[in-house]
Structure 1
Amino acid sequence: MTDLSSFAIKICGLSTPETLEAAMAGGADMIGLNFHPKSPRFVTLERAGELAAMARGKTEIVVLIVDWDERRAVELAEALKPDWLQLHGRETPDEVAALRRATGLPVMKALGIAEAADLAAVGAYHSVADRILLDAKPPKDAAFPGGHGRPFDWSLLAGLDPAQRFMLSGGLDPANVAQAIGIARPAGVDVSSGVESAPGVKDPARIAEFIAAARKAAAAGQESSSA
């Protein structure tokens, strides 16, 4: 629904005040709090509340949920008052629309990409979600969704309708984010494991490096497109 008017950088799976501070100091536009219990980045409502209080008014707060019903989503939205709801499960377009209505929050829908055929779903979700996040499909035996630190073939996105703006995730890190932005031309990027020293353990230095590299690449891309 909503086109991204400026490039957005999201640091997801934050769980400590120190790493949240690093994300905000680096200039992250969005921070993600993960409510999926099987993820190493899971945070309790109590911890999320502490982090949200630190972030409120300084960066946009995104809560990540997986296949929740409307009641649970509404309870979380009322308790935490985030800026965004990120749906990272198998939610259908109708379910995305229903969660958006029930919570009153803008919704970011993650879609797993492994091959060109996976892009067919983008159109259906583009009409009901405020933002689309294209992520790498998880391995078949994975315990939780997401890219698991592995990128997909970004050149697949060349066939996507340019009007279907999206954020990019999956296997991004400080070393490859500039290349990813150059190839995929996303409206934003989202990173989690790529700025960690161990699963679920964010590295403040890598967070700063990622944000700086992404910002520089996005600015270079905007300059070349307007030249």
Structure 2
Amino acid sequence: MHVKFCGFTQLDDVNTAVQLGADAVGLVFYPPSPRAVTVSQAKALVKRIPAFVSVVALVVNMADNELVELAHQVPFDIIQFHGDETPEQCQQLAYAVNKRWMKALRINAETDTLESVNNRIDRFAAAGASSILLDAYHPHKYGGTGARFDWSLIPKDSSLPIILAGGLNADNVADLLDMPIYGVDVSGGIEYDKGKKDAAKMRAFMKAVGK
């Protein structure tokens, strides 16, 4: 199970995540988020992330010129599109900065079915996504809600590797070990406050996934 810890704002937290063996570190470039970082903050954090640990830039409906400027200033590895971006927009934006990318899909148990989820994934796969991230739907928030969605809507035959997010913590992540997913993405479940990680919770989470 691959693990991404997301929403870092503190250097000590990044160091702890790396020491614990996190596969990826996520930085949020969405100003309304309580976990958002500035370019200068991001530069300082990325300096502490060694090779073989991926840096993921989470963006929400970011304009192409803003993304190009961000890529020029912050050395990230992967874009995580977490807004309303279409497959075509993701493809165009990622091409502009020559980065690999994944798309977050917010899953709504009231309107989504396995077929609709698979169809949405297929569209992003055709546009060149490297993975898909499934998160809980909220009408006014682009993730970071701490809520779970109905895990029965996780496809078993996805055309892209699935990363699961939404309401994960050390107590429930072990339930995912037999599910058809590539990795997990956690933020609130390893925090004591927004953007501030709890070392004990991070350690317990990694232990729960067998890291």
TM-score (norm 1): 0.85
Distance across 2 between alignment mates of 1:51 and 1:198 = 18
Distance across 1 between alignment mates of 2:209 and 2:34 = 25
Identify the residue that residue 69 of structure 1 maps to in structure 2: 63
Identify the residue that residue 136 of structure 1 maps to in structure 2: 136
Identify the residue that residue 126 of structure 2 maps to in structure 1: 127
Distance across 2 between alignment mates of 1:75 and 1:215 = 38
The one-letter amino acid of 1:186's match is I
Could you tell me which of 184, 191, 195 is aligned with 1:200?
Answer: 195
The one-letter amino acid of 1:208's match is R
CA shift digits 1:41-89 (9 cap, x unpaired): 0111111100001114251111111001211111111111111111100
Query: Within the alignment, does 1:57 sit opposite 2:56 as a pair?
Result: no
Preserved contact between residue 26 and residue 212 of structure 1 (Cα < 8 Å): no
Structure 1 vs Structure 2 CA RMSD: 1.5
Preserved contact between residue 154 and residue 180 of structure 1 (Cα < 8 Å): no
Structure with bigger helix share is: 1
TM-score (norm 2): 0.91
Identify the residue that residue 179 of structure 1 maps to in structure 2: 175
Query: Within the alignment, does 1:101 sit opposite 2:104 as a pair?
Result: no
Identify the residue that residue 221 of structure 1 maps to in structure 2: none
Residue 160 of structure 1: CA displacement?
A: 4.4
Residue 200 of structure 1: CA displacement?
A: 2.5
Identify the residue that residue 223 of structure 1 maps to in structure 2: none
**Partner SS state of residue 103, structure 2:** strand
Deviation above 4 Å: which 4+ runs of structure 1?
A: none
Preserved contact between residue 3 and residue 183 of structure 2 (Cα < 8 Å): yes
Unaligned runs of 5+ in 1: 1-6, 217-227
CA shift digits 1:84-131 (9 cap, x unpaired): 111100000100100111010100111101223351311101222111
Distance across 1 between alignment mates of 2:99 and 2:50 = 15
**Partner SS state of residue 168, structure 2:** coil
The one-letter amino acid of 1:97's match is Q
**Distance change in 2, residues 1:56/1:71 (3 Å):** farther
Residue 181 of structure 1: CA displacement?
A: 3.1
Query: Within the alignment, does 1:20 sit opposite 2:8 as a pair?
Result: no
Residue 147 of structure 1: CA displacement?
A: 4.7
**Distance change in 2, residues 1:198/1:20 (3 Å):** same
Identify the residue that residue 37 of structure 1 maps to in structure 2: 31
Identify the residue that residue 210 of structure 2 maps to in structure 1: 215
Distance across 1 between alignment mates of 2:126 and 2:168 = 26
Preserved contact between residue 146 and residue 167 of structure 2 (Cα < 8 Å): yes
Distance across 2 between alignment mates of 1:95 and 1:163 = 19
Identify the residue that residue 92 of structure 1 maps to in structure 2: 86
Unaligned runs of 5+ in 2: none
Identify the residue that residue 185 of structure 2 maps to in structure 1: 190
Distance across 2 between alignment mates of 1:101 and 1:215 = 36
Residue 135 of structure 1: CA displacement?
A: 0.9
